[in-house]
Amino acid sequence: MEDPKPTDPPHLAEDVTEHVGYRLKRAAAALRNAMDKALREHGLTVPQYACLELLDQQPGLSNAELARGTFVTRQSMNVVLRGLQDADLITRPAAADHGRALPAHLTAEGRRRLDAARSAVYAIECDMVEAIPQRRLAAILTDLDRMAAALGG
């Protein structure tokens, strides 16, 4: 059997830390760590916060819609929603009116907690955005969208 031919890297890089994927993962990990720390002070996890944000923008989303919007599995979203319900941050009907979807809505406490947590999360995003020249922000956002689309996301 012949040895496989080495694959050329997608761009010139001295080591793996110079690859785009590595840099994206490093930035995502730094963002997640900062958000975890900030949200812990508000009694929320990152998926819970993301779920509250989505429900604020689009009340009545289902478990499946929330899972897609927060990049978690439906099973994980079930756990997130149960935690939010137990904390009286969202409401969902006990049974579905039609089909199996149980639309979720923020409670007054959920809206209050979201507003408090949002300030902390937005401060983190400001730190990220201030680290790059303002004139490049739109191009970076476009490039990130193009990368995601190139991978089917």
Flag whether 9 is in a domain: no
pLDDT digits (tens, 9 = 90+) for 73-132: 999 999 999 999 999 999 998 776 666 678 999 999 999 999 999 999 999 999 999 999
Cα separation, 70 vs 65, in Å, equals 9
The Cα 34–Cα 77 span in angstroms is 22
Q: What's the mean pLDDT in 136-145? A: 96
- In the chain, pLDDT over 90 holds for what percent of residues? 79
Query: Is residue 153 helix, strand or coil?
Result: coil
Give the number of domains in the chain.
1
Distance CA(101)–CA(147), nearest Å, equals 32
pTM: 0.85
Q: What is the CATH number of the domain that holds 69?
A: 1.10.10.10
Radius of gyration in angstroms for the set of CA atoms belonging to the chain, rounded to a whole number: 20
Using alpha carbons, select from 152, 144, 107, 150 the residue that is nearest to residue 27: 144
